[in-house]
A and B are shown apart, each in its own frame.
Chain A
Amino acid sequence: DIVLTQSPALAVSLGQRATISCRASQSVSTSSYNLMHWYQQKPGEQPKLLIYDASNLASGIPVRFSGSGSGTDFTLTINPVQADDIATYYCQQSRELPLTFGSGTKLEIK
């Protein structure tokens, strides 16, 4: 199984940049696609897709969210961070079955 590793928490100040990382135990990229996706989950709510295929913004998601990376190393960036961004962020790979998620990074405000 592909294991995705995320830091448990990140504290940033409002208006600053947040960089959340996700490292895969093996490559999740093909010759054409980077099969890494990012979700936001606020307390008491279902997850919501933010970024698909590493860098594509999902419909309705603000442009302050962006994604990058390839191979085994991926990053979700929020710039600038707003109070509404307090949530847990999960990465997920679809390069192979079983589909797997990272353990989540909880974004906190300093």
Chain B
Amino acid sequence: EVQLVETGGGLVQPGRSLKLSCVASGFTFNNYWMSWTRQAPGKGLEWVASITNSGGSTYYPDSVKGRFTISRDNAQNTLYLQMNSLRSEDTATYYCTRGGTHGVMDAWGQGASVTVSS
């Protein structure tokens, strides 16, 4: 069974940093692209970052480019999201997702809640 378990969420002040982790199991981690997608309270879904299976390339939307960094440790089956210079608008539940073919997100974690507030 595919499992994605996010940790590291919490309350953080504006301008500070936070790092999320996602431990994967039930599949061959290094065969898949991975992504983070977030959902602000009561709002829709927003793609945040993607990384290739080797970790050699990463992709971001303009809203987080330069502030967020996605990375992975294939030996530990773990995906990361380093979030710097956090803003109130980054408040959301952050989902770790597995990338299927053609950019689809075919498995989702339960989410990690991040609140940016003073």
Contact = CB atoms under 8 A, between A and B. Distances in A.
Given A97-B59, A101-B47, A53 B109 contact: no
A48 B98 CA distance: 11
Secondary structure of the A contact surface, majority rule: loop
Nearest to A4: B44
Nearest to A101: B45
B47 A52 contact: no
Interface in B49-90: 50, 59, 61-62
B47 A49 contact: no
A3 to B, nearest CB: 12
Contacts of A33: 102
A58 B102 contact: no
Interface of A: 33, 35, 37, 39, 46-49, 52-53, 58, 90, 92, 94, 97-104
